[in-house]
Structure 1
Amino acid sequence: MSSTSLLPEGFHDRLPPYADVAARLEARILGAAFAHGYERVDPPLAEFEAGLASRLKATRARDAVRFVDPVSQRTLAIRPDITAQVGRIVATRMAHHPRPVRLSYAGPVLKLRASELDPEREARQIGCELIGLDSVAAAQEIASLAVEALTAAGVENISIDFTLPDLVDILAAGPFPVSADQIEALKDRLDAKDAGAVAALAPPYLPLIEAAGPFEAAHDRLCAFDAGGALTSRLDGLWAIAQSLKGKVALTLDPTERHGFEYQSWIGFSIFAGGVRGEIGRGGSYTVMHESGAEEPAIGFSLYADAIVDSGLAPIERRRLFVPLGTDRALATGMRGEGWVTVAALDARDTPEAQLCTHVLMDGAPRALQT
């Protein structure tokens, strides 16, 4: 194979029928979102780096591919995530819109570099953002919508793992003080479940490593740990959110999970499905920054279409009807009106097998091919 026909590392073509599967997955997720009032926005693939990096509190465009725009001579960034772009839209062009604003989106994102666990640099991101609220009711709507949208797309055996992204900050400012120069190291070691390092840095935080697992048991352990009540409002809210999902999905809790939740505020969650090694989505609360310096609460979720499609979770729906040469076109038109995909023979040598058809039109009716 010629080197000019190869793709860079971390990129790939999506061929039939999987490109169609991905398109149907996206349409069903966005359809479920639209039914709940989430209207679609479509931001550009690239924009000014400075605007992209500053729109969400506590985030940076460190994963963005950058280049100099030959027109403006300013640095542009190809988006590594669409959430920040939605934040820009609601803080500028939709700043006058009544709150909360419900928006959905879908599109490609590009990472500067990949990891060993996730070697792909290009991905398809689908999501919903609710801007103007990050209340328990808003979190319940967002989490329930993520589950409903995935179910509508044919994804089964869904589970959600909750976390509390600002947990250490709250505790460090209250009952368990930690010096400012040690907070990041403590968060990192808690995330890694490194009990030895946590004991050396801040022994009172050790119980947090054990407060992970099935939701109710983990929640009970966190409540017992929170003797001073610093986390009461968060734990009560988390319980209410979990109760709204009980019986629909499996629920777990890992209060010290940090990777990927750098800009989330009081709640975060990862979405998993049976048969997939990693997560298929992520969500949580965050803060949108306005140019005036004002901060606006928000909450949302993003789903990773590639992980879902590549794992075979989205069903392949290939029902193709072979239309023999000379068939009345009106008959084929009628079959398409009934939901069939018709593939017309263009010469006498064409066959249903060559066109990957599942049925053939015979005597005016579909007939299944023998397998």
Structure 2
Amino acid sequence: MAGNWNNLQVPAGVRDLLPAEAAALRELEQELVAFFQSWGYQEVLTPTFEFVETFQAGSPAGDEGSLYKFIDREGRVLALRPEMTAPIARLVATSLRREALPLRLCYSARVFRYEEPQAGRLREFHQAGVELIGAGGVAADGEIIALAVETLLKAGLKDFRLGIGQVAVTKGVLQDLDLPREAVARIKVALAGKDLVGLERLVDEYSLTGLKRRQLELLATLHGGKEALEEARANFIQTGAAAALAGLEEVWQALTAYGLEKWLFIDLGILRDFDYYTGIVFEGYVPGLGVPVCGGGRYDGLVGQFGYPCPATGFALGLERVLMARGEGQGGGQGGYLVAGRDLAAVLRRARELRRPGVMVIIDGESQNRQEAAARAAARGLALVWVD
């Protein structure tokens, strides 16, 4: 093995977490799960890998190219989970099928996607999120979006905005273009990536004019509050989107009354990465971070694909992205004690007395005197406890 450089490296898109960063991530994870539970959401865990069929409904644009797939010794195709919504939909349709609805479930887990690595986009990363299963309508959509805003605040973010869209409107506009599937897919990529130059090029390439051109331009550029909803209502009526926009307006009014308007804006160009979304969708953005820090929405058809039709909505946060947005590439120290002395048994007893949740206690068996122990404690940012 000597001289083999590969055994010293990790693959592209994955990374080691050093102690401070690992501690910051774990603390954030525990805080968020506890916060979800305070809203009535119960934690669940699903397998890291499942049969590939579980994820086929949730593959981006119906493509399995982002899945890490492998074959077991019995010849069955398995995949590492690329997200948590599809596994939880399967869980609800099987093990929780007899439970009363709605179900409020939460999770924190590693997920895996074979994507091009870049800042804020890894191939293995941590997600925390919630799923509200069996509840439709304005109340459920409002709860999930309100919880998303409150979660970002709980995570320590202040300078963020949450864009809210409605995929029924977006899909209606794309369907009315009457273009081949490949052309629509290219336009979706440009919309999802907020690529206005690329979208303009595609509009010219496919000779889109008049109302079709106007509606695509509005999807990409229409942002704002109530005034954006009014403009959308005036321009998207031909798509049959009146009911969808009315529901979006009801949710907007409820969230405004709740006092969340400063963090929200309308963005009908939001498509999300997965094709199972059916209604209101949203994404959270932080200045300086080129990817959403959170996202989610309504997916009323997904659970039904596992044989248990019911409405559902939810969201997930990328924990590494939250830490990046907070500027915490390195975690902060917890504080605590360094316990030292000449009598090892007494040192051990004193350390046990000091230990409690959230307090770090380190035993120093190397220092020969109080001065040496004090230097070690100061270097670690700990308080010295010397046992005579």
> Which band: TM-score by shorter chain?
0.7 to 0.9
Please tell me the residue identity of whatever aligns with 2:364.
Answer: A
What corresponds to 1:369 in structure 2?
Answer: none
What corresponds to 1:302 in structure 2?
Answer: 316
Structure 2 alignment gaps of length 5 or more: none
What corresponds to 2:263 in structure 1?
Answer: 250
Please tell me the residue identity of whatever aligns with 2:212.
Answer: Y
Distance 2:106 2:227 in 1: 34
**In the comparison of the two structures, how many residue pairs are matched?**
361
Once the two structures are superposed, residues 249-308 of structure 1 have per-residue CA deviations (whole angstroms, 9 ceiling, x without a partner) of: 522222123352532111110012345332111110112244675632210001101111
Q: Would you say 1:265 and 2:288 are equivalent positions?
A: no
Aligned-pair identity in percent equals 24
Q: Check whether the contact 2:157–2:326 (CA below 8 A) recurs between aligned residues.
A: no
What corresponds to 2:382 in structure 1?
Answer: 359
Q: Would you say 1:288 and 2:298 are equivalent positions?
A: no
Normalising by structure 1, report the TM-score.
0.84
Q: Would you say 1:343 and 2:343 are equivalent positions?
A: no
What corresponds to 1:206 in structure 2?
Answer: 213
Once the two structures are superposed, residues 78-128 of structure 1 have per-residue CA deviations (whole angstroms, 9 ceiling, x without a partner) of: 111111101111112212221111111111111123255655211111110
Deviation at 1:137, TM superposition (A): 0.8
Q: Identify the structure with the greater strand proportion.
A: 1
Distance 2:286 2:323 in 1: 12
Distance 1:168 1:202 in 2: 18
Compare 207-216 and 19-28 and name the one that shifted more.
207-216
Distance 2:375 2:168 in 1: 57
What corresponds to 1:65 in structure 2?
Answer: 68
Q: Check whether the contact 1:127–1:301 (CA below 8 A) recurs between aligned residues.
A: yes
The within-5 A match list for 1:113-132 is 113-116=115-118, 119-132=121-134
Distance 1:202 1:268 in 2: 28
Once the two structures are superposed, residues 165-189 of structure 1 have per-residue CA deviations (whole angstroms, 9 ceiling, x without a partner) of: 222433577xx57367565455455
Task: Give the secondary-structure state (helix, strand or coil) at the position aligned to 1:124.
Answer: strand
Please tell me the residue identity of whatever aligns with 1:50.
Answer: E
Distance 1:115 1:362 in 2: 46
Q: Would you say 1:8 and 2:27 are equivalent positions?
A: no
Please tell me the residue identity of whatever aligns with 2:113.
Answer: K
Of 203, 212, 230, the match for 1:220: 230
Normalising by structure 2, report the TM-score.
0.81
Q: Identify the structure with the greater helix proportion.
A: 2
What corresponds to 1:138 in structure 2?
Answer: 140
The within-5 A match list for 1:170-209 is 170-171=172-173, 178=178, 181=181, 183-184=184-185, 187-188=188-189, 190-191=191-192, 192-193=195-196, 194-195=199-200, 197-198=202-203, 200-201=207-208, 203-208=210-215, 209=217
Structure 1 39/358 Cα, relative in aligned 2: closer, same or farther at 3 Å? same
Of 32, 40, 45, the match for 1:37: 40
Q: Check whether the contact 1:282–1:303 (CA below 8 A) recurs between aligned residues.
A: yes
What corresponds to 2:112 in structure 1?
Answer: 110
Of 335, 339, 342, the match for 1:319: 335
Distance 1:227 1:244 in 2: 23
Compare 313-322 and 53-62 and name the one that shifted more.
53-62
Compare 84-93 and 194-203 and name the one that shifted more.
194-203
Q: Check whether the contact 1:66–1:77 (CA below 8 A) recurs between aligned residues.
A: yes
Structure 1 alignment gaps of length 5 or more: 365-371
Structure 1 275/334 Cα, relative in aligned 2: closer, same or farther at 3 Å? farther
- Give the ranges of 4+ consecutive aligned residues of structure 1 lying more than 6 Å apart after TM superposition: 55-58
Once the two structures are superposed, residues 311-346 of structure 1 have per-residue CA deviations (whole angstroms, 9 ceiling, x without a partner) of: 435673521322232465454344334853222211
